[in-house]
Amino acid sequence: MNNKNENFMRLDFPSKSCNESFSRAAVAAFASQLDMNIEELADIKTAVSEAVTNSIVHGYRGIKGIIHIECRISGDSITVTVRDEGRGIEDVERAMQPLFTTDRDGERSGMGFTVMQTFMDKLSVDSVYGEGTTVTMTKTIGGEADGDFGEI
Amino acid sequence: MQINIEIIGNTLVAKLFGELDHHCCDEVRAAVDREIERGRIKNLVFDLDGVSFMDSSGIGVIAGRYKKIKEFGGRTLIIRARPQVDRVLELSGIKKILECG
């Protein structure tokens, strides 16, 4: 076990779209203390951007609220939690289908969760309709999704 | 986001600079649609060399413009996408419906 690499940070900000670029840059800056390549860092940045945009566009649609981010580094892994106290998702399974969007008139691509799933190793979405959504995603650096070589 | 619009013949070249996310979607949409609605152009090129970051909101904007251009029988092309942008384009499947150079 390697416990020397433990760290965390928290970020709270209002659900303004100008905070999308700020929040993904802040997470990327924190994440970069892990020794990762440009592609891995870009993956984290993109996934965070999707989660924060979901909270703004869907969670807090038409209302103002606070978005909470927590990042935790443990060994070679980083876990990013993006939480809102917005509308929540009625049907999480359906929302996670590629191309599914509730935004019929607009031009949302319906790819947000697919991006998070593809670019991170683990994704979980907990939502209570009417209360809010928590997205938790983990990426292990320097390995494939299963970076576990077992006990030696 | 900075948007440079250039018209070459009947082709609109939209050069984008900066980060293409939900926050600047409306700006890009408005700038390109303004030219499409003037009716002087047929084809559309997105030059993404200056785009340092894009998420799925960018896909929405590009796909939306592609549909409009297609209505009038025109073609949409994406050129010079950087690796992070290309990865999002690839994942979205949009590269299968429009041309990428």
CATH number where B84 lies: 3.30.750.24
- Residue A146 placed within a domain: no
Q: Check A109 against B25: CB less than 8 A apart.
A: no
Catalytic-labelled residue, pool A50, A83, A85, A87: A50
User: How much is the average pLDDT of A26-42?
Assistant: 96
Q: How many domains does chain A have?
A: 1
> In terms of residue numbers, what domain contains B33?
2-100
Q: Which string of b and e fits A84-113 if b means at least 16 CB within 10 Å?
A: bbbbbbeeeeebbebebbeeeeebbbbbbb
Q: Which of A32-36, A83-87, A99-103, A122-126 has the lowest mean pLDDT?
A: A99-103
- Residue A106 placed within a domain: yes
Model pLDDT, residue A3: 56
Chain A closest-CA separation from residue B64 CA (Å) = 6
Catalytic-labelled residue, pool A40, A54, A83, A85: A54
What whole-number percentage of chain A has pLDDT above 70? 89
pLDDT in tens, A45-76: 999 999 999 999 999 998 999 999 999 999 99
- Residue A150 placed within a domain: no
Q: What is the pLDDT along chain B (101 residues), one digit of tens a residue?
A: 999 999 999 999 999 999 999 999 999 999 999 999 998 999 999 999 999 999 999 999 999 999 999 998 999 999 999 999 999 999 999 988 887 77
Chain B closest-CA separation from residue A128 CA (Å) = 24
- Residue A107 placed within a domain: yes
Q: What is the CA radius of gyration of chain A?
A: 16
> Rounded to whole angstroms, how far apart are CA atoms A88 and A134?
9
- Give chain A's largest Cα–Cα span: 55
ipTM: 0.94
Q: How many domains does chain B have?
A: 1
- Residue A147 placed within a domain: no
> In terms of residue numbers, what domain contains A118?
6-140
User: How much is the average pLDDT of A108-137?
Assistant: 96
CATH number where A16 lies: 3.30.565.10
Cα distances from A23 to residues A53, A77, A131, in angstroms, run 10, 19, 22
